[in-house]
Amino acid sequence: MIETVSIVVGDRFAEFARNSEVSGVSEFIGALRNGAAVVHPIVIGQGLAPEALDELNALLPPGPGQPAADLDIPTRATSALTHKRAAKNIMVSVPVARSGQLFEAELFLDDRNEVMEDHQTGQHIQGLALIEAARQLWTAVTERYLSPPDKPSRFVIDSVQTTFSRFVFPLPATMTLEVLDSASGPVQSTYAVRILILQNGQTSTTIDARYRVIDARVSERQEAQAARHAIRVAVPATVRPVAAAVA
């Protein structure tokens, strides 16, 4: 019943929504449309699409303890920052700088996300989704704060090491990124970062990553050379096309 609900999550988190304090967004919006009363201030969990967030803002009654402004909805990062074309696949808010080397964003999942759309097992957020959110965060931080503006570049991951300390549930979660090391050159820059995912004041996930940001033209040439080499190794010489003889 809506009278017990304090947390609203995306419909894909159906198992988590079985907890009495939690509701899937479709059921919750349906109850509001039918005139149900909201008793508790509402916490927005993970998985809500922008359309659902807009409707909640319109339906939740203003008044003591539950004005629409109580919905603490972060600003989703852009495609330019995250390198994701579809908005539903963007998993983090716009990062903000806490110092020269420390940055912060909110985990911000739409449960239609490409990483999650196949299936959802259990009540927690999949580890792969958290790793992708971390990748988006280091991309967004680099694009917004670390890389020269208006310089086309490509990101190449060298290593990722992840430690899952506890489950991350579809509740509000904060992500921090600390730059541990960096080096810049004329063609590429390298970064070593540590990303923490925190929920209810505890670190749930630690991700250490090292990556390079390379001039796009140089990266394209490097990749083309690597592709040609891979093809030569994979295709036996006997079946390779023979160049026409020059008269």
* pTM of the predicted model over 0.85: yes
**What stretch of H or E contains 135?**
helix 127-141
CB 58 within 8 A of CB 71: no
In sequence order, the 6+-apart residues with CB closer than 8 A to the CB of 169 are: 16, 123, 124, 125, 199
pLDDT at 69: 39
In sequence order, the 6+-apart residues with CB closer than 8 A to the CB of 39 are: 2, 3, 4
pLDDT at 1: 54
Which residue type is seen at 149?
P
Per-residue pLDDT of the chain (247 residues; tens, 9 = 90+): 566 778 999 999 999 999 999 999 999 999 999 988 887 788 899 999 999 999 988 888 665 554 443 567 889 999 999 999 999 999 999 999 999 999 999 999 999 999 988 878 899 999 999 999 999 999 999 999 998 777 778 899 999 999 999 999 999 999 999 999 999 888 889 999 999 999 999 999 999 999 999 877 777 888 888 888 888 888 876 666 655 555 4
pLDDT at 239: 67
Residue with tokens 């359309």, as numbered in its chain: 51
pLDDT at 148: 77
